[in-house]
Amino acid sequence: MRNKIQHHFDSIAHLYDDRYDGTRGRRYHAHLSEYMMRNLVQGGRLLDLGCGTGLFVTRYIGNGGEAVGLDISRGMIRKAIERCPESDFTMASAEAIPFSDGSFDALSSLLVFSYVRSPEKMLSEAYRVLRPGGSLAICTLGKNLMTSGLPAIYHLGEVMRVRQVCVGAFGERYYHETEMEDLLRHAGFTGVRVLRCSFAHYGLIDPVFDIAKKVEPFVEKHLPSLAYNIFAVGRKPPV
Protein backbone atom coordinates (compact mmCIF):
# COMPACT_ATOMS: atom_id res chain seq x y z
CA MET A 1 0.00 0.00 0.00
CA ARG A 2 2.88 2.37 0.75
CA ASN A 3 4.18 1.94 -2.82
CA LYS A 4 0.70 2.73 -4.15
CA ILE A 5 0.48 5.92 -2.09
CA GLN A 6 4.01 6.89 -3.07
CA HIS A 7 3.26 6.37 -6.76
CA HIS A 8 0.03 8.37 -6.49
CA PHE A 9 1.69 11.41 -4.96
CA ASP A 10 4.59 11.20 -7.37
CA SER A 11 2.11 11.29 -10.24
CA ILE A 12 0.08 14.23 -8.96
CA ALA A 13 2.86 16.34 -7.40
CA HIS A 14 2.43 18.93 -10.15
CA LEU A 15 -1.29 19.18 -9.31
CA TYR A 16 -0.96 19.39 -5.53
CA ASP A 17 -0.64 23.14 -5.28
CA ASP A 18 -3.70 23.57 -7.47
CA ARG A 19 -5.61 21.97 -4.61
CA TYR A 20 -4.08 23.68 -1.58
CA ASP A 21 -2.72 26.88 -3.10
CA GLY A 22 -5.81 27.84 -5.08
CA THR A 23 -8.40 30.29 -3.77
CA ARG A 24 -10.49 27.92 -1.62
CA GLY A 25 -7.65 25.50 -0.98
CA ARG A 26 -5.41 28.28 0.34
CA ARG A 27 -8.05 29.42 2.82
CA TYR A 28 -8.72 25.83 3.89
CA HIS A 29 -5.03 25.01 4.35
CA ALA A 30 -4.36 28.32 6.12
CA HIS A 31 -7.12 27.57 8.64
CA LEU A 32 -5.60 24.19 9.51
CA SER A 33 -2.09 25.67 9.56
CA GLU A 34 -3.20 28.29 12.07
CA TYR A 35 -4.31 25.54 14.45
CA MET A 36 -0.88 23.94 14.05
CA MET A 37 1.06 27.16 14.60
CA ARG A 38 -0.81 28.02 17.79
CA ASN A 39 0.21 24.71 19.35
CA LEU A 40 3.83 24.28 18.27
CA VAL A 41 7.04 25.60 19.79
CA GLN A 42 7.78 28.80 17.89
CA GLY A 43 11.15 29.81 16.49
CA GLY A 44 12.61 26.34 16.95
CA ARG A 45 13.52 23.46 14.67
CA LEU A 46 10.50 21.72 13.12
CA LEU A 47 10.14 18.36 11.42
CA ASP A 48 7.12 18.27 9.10
CA LEU A 49 6.04 14.68 8.44
CA GLY A 50 4.40 14.26 5.04
CA CYS A 51 5.56 17.72 4.01
CA GLY A 52 4.15 17.53 0.49
CA THR A 53 5.24 20.55 -1.53
CA GLY A 54 6.43 22.43 1.56
CA LEU A 55 3.37 24.55 2.27
CA PHE A 56 3.53 24.22 6.05
CA VAL A 57 7.32 24.36 6.09
CA THR A 58 7.00 27.77 4.41
CA ARG A 59 4.50 28.86 7.07
CA TYR A 60 6.71 27.78 9.96
CA ILE A 61 9.94 29.37 8.72
CA GLY A 62 8.00 32.52 7.87
CA ASN A 63 7.43 32.90 11.61
CA GLY A 64 11.14 32.77 12.39
CA GLY A 65 11.67 29.03 12.75
CA GLU A 66 13.79 26.45 10.99
CA ALA A 67 12.16 23.46 9.32
CA VAL A 68 12.98 20.09 7.80
CA GLY A 69 10.46 18.29 5.59
CA LEU A 70 10.01 14.53 5.22
CA ASP A 71 7.88 12.73 2.63
CA ILE A 72 7.75 9.33 0.89
CA SER A 73 7.14 10.95 -2.50
CA ARG A 74 10.15 11.99 -4.55
CA GLY A 75 7.90 14.18 -6.70
CA MET A 76 6.64 16.06 -3.65
CA ILE A 77 10.17 16.53 -2.34
CA ARG A 78 11.25 18.05 -5.67
CA LYS A 79 8.41 20.57 -5.50
CA ALA A 80 9.17 21.35 -1.86
CA ILE A 81 12.83 22.09 -2.68
CA GLU A 82 11.70 24.48 -5.41
CA ARG A 83 9.40 26.25 -2.96
CA CYS A 84 11.81 26.34 0.01
CA PRO A 85 15.41 26.05 -1.21
CA GLU A 86 16.63 27.29 2.18
CA SER A 87 15.16 24.24 3.99
CA ASP A 88 16.22 20.60 4.02
CA PHE A 89 13.96 17.83 2.71
CA THR A 90 14.32 14.08 3.12
CA MET A 91 12.61 11.20 1.33
CA ALA A 92 11.71 8.70 4.06
CA SER A 93 8.83 7.10 5.96
CA ALA A 94 7.37 8.67 9.10
CA GLU A 95 7.49 5.19 10.64
CA ALA A 96 11.31 5.14 10.39
CA ILE A 97 12.47 8.74 10.81
CA PRO A 98 16.14 9.03 9.78
CA PHE A 99 17.17 11.51 12.50
CA SER A 100 18.80 11.06 15.87
CA ASP A 101 17.06 11.28 19.23
CA GLY A 102 16.07 14.75 20.38
CA SER A 103 16.73 16.48 17.06
CA PHE A 104 13.66 18.74 16.91
CA ASP A 105 11.74 21.23 19.03
CA ALA A 106 8.46 20.67 17.19
CA LEU A 107 6.85 18.08 14.96
CA SER A 108 3.89 18.57 12.64
CA SER A 109 1.77 16.26 10.50
CA LEU A 110 -0.90 17.90 8.36
CA LEU A 111 -3.44 15.63 6.59
CA VAL A 112 -1.06 12.65 6.46
CA PHE A 113 -1.69 10.61 9.60
CA SER A 114 -4.69 8.79 8.10
CA TYR A 115 -2.45 7.13 5.51
CA VAL A 116 0.13 5.82 8.00
CA ARG A 117 0.02 2.02 8.27
CA SER A 118 1.28 1.89 11.87
CA PRO A 119 0.25 5.03 13.79
CA GLU A 120 1.79 3.61 16.98
CA LYS A 121 5.17 3.30 15.29
CA MET A 122 4.99 6.79 13.81
CA LEU A 123 4.15 8.32 17.18
CA SER A 124 6.94 6.36 18.84
CA GLU A 125 9.37 7.75 16.27
CA ALA A 126 7.95 11.25 16.71
CA TYR A 127 8.46 11.04 20.46
CA ARG A 128 12.03 9.81 19.98
CA VAL A 129 13.17 12.65 17.71
CA LEU A 130 11.55 15.39 19.80
CA ARG A 131 13.62 17.16 22.44
CA PRO A 132 12.26 17.11 26.01
CA GLY A 133 9.54 19.75 26.20
CA GLY A 134 9.03 19.59 22.43
CA SER A 135 5.55 19.83 20.92
CA LEU A 136 3.59 17.65 18.50
CA ALA A 137 0.61 18.76 16.39
CA ILE A 138 -1.36 16.45 14.10
CA CYS A 139 -4.29 17.25 11.84
CA THR A 140 -5.98 14.24 10.29
CA LEU A 141 -9.28 12.96 8.92
CA GLY A 142 -12.06 12.68 11.48
CA LYS A 143 -14.70 9.97 11.54
CA ASN A 144 -18.28 11.22 11.34
CA LEU A 145 -21.40 10.92 9.18
CA MET A 146 -20.06 13.42 6.65
CA THR A 147 -16.81 11.52 6.03
CA SER A 148 -18.13 7.96 6.21
CA GLY A 149 -18.90 7.81 2.49
CA LEU A 150 -15.60 9.25 1.27
CA PRO A 151 -13.71 5.93 0.88
CA ALA A 152 -16.38 4.65 -1.52
CA ILE A 153 -16.26 7.89 -3.51
CA TYR A 154 -12.46 7.78 -3.68
CA HIS A 155 -12.55 4.14 -4.76
CA LEU A 156 -14.98 5.03 -7.54
CA GLY A 157 -12.66 7.86 -8.57
CA GLU A 158 -9.80 5.36 -8.83
CA VAL A 159 -11.87 3.04 -11.02
CA MET A 160 -12.73 5.99 -13.25
CA ARG A 161 -9.04 7.01 -13.29
CA VAL A 162 -9.71 10.47 -11.90
CA ARG A 163 -6.34 12.17 -11.35
CA GLN A 164 -6.86 14.24 -8.23
CA VAL A 165 -5.05 14.46 -4.91
CA CYS A 166 -5.96 11.55 -2.62
CA VAL A 167 -8.58 10.16 -5.01
CA GLY A 168 -8.00 6.43 -4.78
CA ALA A 169 -8.41 3.41 -2.51
CA PHE A 170 -5.52 3.85 -0.08
CA GLY A 171 -7.02 2.23 3.00
CA GLU A 172 -6.99 5.54 4.85
CA ARG A 173 -8.17 5.52 8.44
CA TYR A 174 -10.63 8.00 9.94
CA TYR A 175 -10.24 8.69 13.67
CA HIS A 176 -12.47 9.48 16.63
CA GLU A 177 -11.22 11.95 19.22
CA THR A 178 -10.81 9.21 21.85
CA GLU A 179 -8.69 7.11 19.48
CA MET A 180 -6.28 9.96 18.88
CA GLU A 181 -6.06 10.78 22.56
CA ASP A 182 -5.30 7.15 23.47
CA LEU A 183 -2.63 6.90 20.75
CA LEU A 184 -0.78 10.02 21.90
CA ARG A 185 -0.95 9.13 25.60
CA HIS A 186 0.24 5.59 24.93
CA ALA A 187 3.24 7.01 23.02
CA GLY A 188 4.21 9.02 26.11
CA PHE A 189 2.92 12.48 25.25
CA THR A 190 1.48 14.65 28.00
CA GLY A 191 -0.88 17.61 27.96
CA VAL A 192 -2.80 15.84 25.21
CA ARG A 193 -5.73 17.74 23.71
CA VAL A 194 -7.94 16.61 20.86
CA LEU A 195 -10.66 18.57 19.09
CA ARG A 196 -12.45 18.80 15.75
CA CYS A 197 -11.80 21.58 13.28
CA SER A 198 -12.63 22.71 9.75
CA PHE A 199 -16.20 22.81 8.42
CA ALA A 200 -15.52 24.77 5.21
CA HIS A 201 -13.89 22.01 3.18
CA TYR A 202 -11.90 23.04 0.09
CA GLY A 203 -14.04 20.72 -2.09
CA LEU A 204 -17.23 22.72 -1.53
CA ILE A 205 -18.36 24.75 -4.51
CA ASP A 206 -18.98 28.49 -4.45
CA PRO A 207 -20.97 30.02 -2.84
CA VAL A 208 -21.40 27.04 -0.44
CA PHE A 209 -17.77 27.33 0.65
CA ASP A 210 -18.19 31.00 1.60
CA ILE A 211 -21.33 30.21 3.60
CA ALA A 212 -19.60 27.33 5.36
CA LYS A 213 -16.65 29.59 6.13
CA LYS A 214 -18.91 32.13 7.81
CA VAL A 215 -20.50 29.55 10.10
CA GLU A 216 -17.29 27.59 10.68
CA PRO A 217 -16.40 29.21 14.03
CA PHE A 218 -19.89 28.43 15.37
CA VAL A 219 -19.74 24.82 14.12
CA GLU A 220 -16.29 24.22 15.60
CA LYS A 221 -17.39 25.56 18.98
CA HIS A 222 -20.95 24.31 19.28
CA LEU A 223 -21.38 21.50 16.68
CA PRO A 224 -17.89 19.98 16.43
CA SER A 225 -19.19 16.60 15.31
CA LEU A 226 -19.89 18.21 11.91
CA ALA A 227 -16.26 19.25 11.41
CA TYR A 228 -14.15 17.21 8.98
CA ASN A 229 -10.81 16.97 10.72
CA ILE A 230 -9.32 15.86 14.02
CA PHE A 231 -6.66 18.07 15.58
CA ALA A 232 -4.43 16.54 18.27
CA VAL A 233 -1.57 18.09 20.25
CA GLY A 234 0.82 16.85 22.93
CA ARG A 235 4.23 17.47 24.45
CA LYS A 236 7.21 15.36 25.29
CA PRO A 237 7.71 15.76 29.04
CA PRO A 238 10.68 17.94 30.04
CA VAL A 239 13.57 16.24 31.79
Most confidently modeled range among 94-98, 155-159, 210-214? 94-98
pLDDT for residue 153: 44
Distance CA 200, CA 220 (A): 10
User: What is the span of the domain harbouring residue 25?
Assistant: 2-235
Question: In the chain, where does DSSP find H-type helix?
Answer: 2-20, 23-38, 55-62, 74-83, 119-129, 150-159, 177-187, 208-222
For 86-111, what is the mean pLDDT?
96
**CATH code of the domain in which 107 resides:** 3.40.50.150
Task: Check: CB of residue 109 under 8 Å from CB of residue 49.
Answer: yes
pLDDT for residue 107: 98
* Total number of domains in the chain: 1
CB-facing half-sphere around the CA of 200: CA atoms within 13 A = 23
Query: What secondary structure letter does DSSP report for 8?
Result: H
pLDDT for residue 168: 47
| Of 54, 42, 91, 41, nearest in space to 71 by CA | 91
Task: Please state the three-class secondary structure of 188-225 as a single string.
Answer: CCEEEEEEEECCCCCCCCCCHHHHHHHHHHHHHHHCHH
Over 80: is that where the pLDDT of 105 sits? yes
> What pLDDT, in 10s, does the model give residues 172-207?
788 999 999 999 999 999 999 999 998 887 777 888
Residue 165 vs residue 175, higher pLDDT: 175
pLDDT for residue 157: 45
For 27-32, what is the mean pLDDT?
91
Over 60: is that where the pLDDT of 141 sits? yes
Contact partners, residue 86, CB within 8 Å, separation at least 6: 61
Query: What secondary structure letter does DSSP report for 143?
Result: P
The chain-wide mean pLDDT, for the chain, equals 86
- State if pTM tops 0.95: no
pLDDT for residue 167: 46
Q: Are strands 190-197 and 66-71 parallel, antiparallel or unpaired?
A: unpaired
